[in-house]
Structure 1
């Protein structure tokens, strides 16, 4: 599964490694009330999955993991901060919490538990290795252009597993050729199936944009857009100015039931990557996102470039790096700083 980007320029060969020193992720929360029956913990974890971190809190408090709220899953091979919620009655007990890979940074209160998706986005700080001074300048220019014109919002390679074998499992399960009892695994495989066809749809739209619109995402009649306040709509005319002003973005289909589908020319392309018989609920996902707060710090003597930026929730930092490099990354390539 290949991810194409809006500008087909030369490849920049840098490396990065997902580890606690070189890959930092900070969750950007929605506003908290400062009062209520739930304690909101700002937590730092090092080289742990979100599930492992939640399990540690659940064991310490002697409660079910389901009673701990969280907004999203964060990388294991990184240093990350995020917010979790528990009932306020556990605040006193949590003062005694200690774990070698987890630290409670601070806390506040809120009126309800944190739910999946309750975040504004994520801030990333990533070290890129093997970057020459000329390449540092190229990276800065490409990052700025992507911030202006938009980044195709692919699901990153992490979504599909090291060898992408989960895609085939998902197809077999949905076709009735593979029976799976585990409800969580079923849900996971269905999301893989939806994500795969979204990426395939986006690939076609990106190639079309590159060929027909000089590297800017091409809007089509019948596209469904997402507004800044989270509403979906299909306009009578193409809303080019609003898109360029980052007020609306076109969306792609995560196939399933009870979801709006594109029409006209946009619908013709979308239909190739649809499965109207999939029983699970469908969704719309932004086709394009706009990275913000981009900063670069080049350590000339060491050929290291630190790049920091913010992305909306559900988006992948590695996709932004792929677009800058004009190169697809895979999990196997990221095991060593010296591997190209």
Structure 2
């Protein structure tokens, strides 16, 4: 279990509460980077989905419209929890053939022509409306105080637990991969018994840990497709961990490496949480207007731009080509890599598994927050830039995770 990261608002108590008791308690709406122009070969569909992922929504729409999934573009991934409104693009489909379509778990709200396919990142951010239930009586004093601090200093740009998989161990698989520790990667893939609730699944993990590969294969649930494929190869050759792990789809392997990058970045945010709105000499500063970075030589000179949220310090999405800072920021980042026994060059694993890396701001602006409290129920609205997570804000208010 990953311990909670420190809070920027640690001086204020949490309000507790529960989130996502129903789909309607968690609403997300994409803020588009641009509007469709009304002409072109692509239909831009605003899709409202409930309880299904973006990829599942795309599968259902592709099947209904009789198009290949690769002909559909999207700007951002949304998970299954809650109600989300997002835009997807479909090539060579008439808008009138899609508008108003309702399928299991989704409906197409509108359809307009445009000239290009949507690609990942083609959005400004997301607008959230979230309900927190069973909150503490002191919420009326705490919520506005937390929001004021976050508006002034920024929201810590943690990735958080949602990046580490259902068992919270995806980053550990990625770390073992970088070390070429294939048995370690396989052990982490199979997981720990206490991390799952299903009794049969738990028994399957325990069988694997005892070395009973045939028993584990029989017990692992059918939806654990990767685990079962690895077990099948191991059963044929128990010492062939590298060969067995190779059966995992490259897309999943990249997810494990991405989870590791997120884990390492979150450690940098944790290390600098109390000075998250300050720059150090040697920082690579992020320009919020366009995402460009520059090396900070004199932090005092840049203090006003930092205060007005024009720029912020960045942290590493480690990779084999990531630009490095200097001075104290470099020392912090290098120490984190050393602790994990990883070098930047390790992120170029070959075979399509090359993670080049990039920089990411340590904080993000909180835009247009508002809230309403009725009894033990908080309704919270706010916007965040793309690539950031609502949990980064919610955890500061609830102190639950």
Where 2:270 maps in the other structure, the secondary structure is helix
Question: Could you tell me how far 1:304 is from its partner in structure 2?
Answer: 0.6
Q: Is the 8 A contact 2:171 2:257 kept in 1?
A: no
* Aligned partner of residue 53 in structure 1, secondary structure: helix
- Is residue 32–residue 109 contact of structure 1 (8 Å, CA) maintained in 2? no
Match of 1:3? Answer: 5
For the 8 Å contact 1:180–1:186, the answer to whether it is kept is no
* TM-score normalised by length of structure 1: 0.89
- Quote the residue 1:159 is aligned against: 163
What is the root-mean-square deviation of aligned Cα atoms in Å? Answer: 1.7
Query: Does 2:86 correspond to 1:26?
Result: no
The equivalent of 1:172 in structure 2 is 176
Which structure: greater helix fraction? Answer: 2
> Of 264, 270, 293, which aligns to 2:333?
270
User: Could you say which residue in structure 2 is the equivalent of 1:225?
Assistant: 285
TM-score normalised per structure 2: 0.76
How far 1:222 sits from its partner (Å)? 0.7
Which runs of 4 or more aligned residues in structure 1 lie more than 3 Å from their structure 2 counterparts after TM superposition?
none
Find 2:267's aligned residue among 200, 222, 229: 200
Distance 1:185 1:144 in 2: 39
Aligned residues of 1:198 and 1:273 also touching (Cα < 8 A): no
Which of 46, 49, 62 in structure 2 is aligned with 1:42? 46
Query: Of residues 294, 298, 308 in structure 1, which corresponds to 2:373?
Result: 298
Report how many residues are paired.
319
Determine the structure 1 residue equivalent to 2:102.
98
Corresponding residue of 1:115: 119
CA contact (8 A) 1:16 1:126 kept: no
Query: What residue in structure 2 maps to residue 314 of structure 1?
Result: 387
Highest RCO, 1 vs 2 (Cα 8 Å, sep ≥ 6): 1
Taking a change above 3 Å as real, the CA distance of residues 45 and 127 of structure 1, as seen in their structure-2 partners, is same
Unaligned runs of 5+ residues in structure 1 are 210-215, 330-340
CA distance in 1 between counterparts of 2:246 and 2:11 reads 44
Contact 2:268–2:315 under 8 Å retained in 1:
yes
TM-aligned CA deviation for residue 32 of structure 1: 2.3
Give yes or no for contact 2:320–2:344 (8 Å, CA) kept in 1: yes
Task: Spell out, residue by residue over 1:64-115, the C-alpha distance to the aligned partner (whole angstroms, 9 max, x if none).
Answer: 2122100111121101100000114343432473303211111222221110
- In the other structure, the counterpart of 2:251 is 184
How far residue 191 of structure 1 moved from its aligned partner, in angstroms, is 0.3
Q: How big is the shift at 1:199?
A: 0.7
Which of these two proteins has the greater Rg computed from alpha carbons?
2
Conservation of the 8 A alpha-carbon contact between 1:151 and 1:290:
yes
Q: Which blocks of at least 5 consecutive residues in structure 2 are unaligned?
A: 183-244, 338-342, 349-354
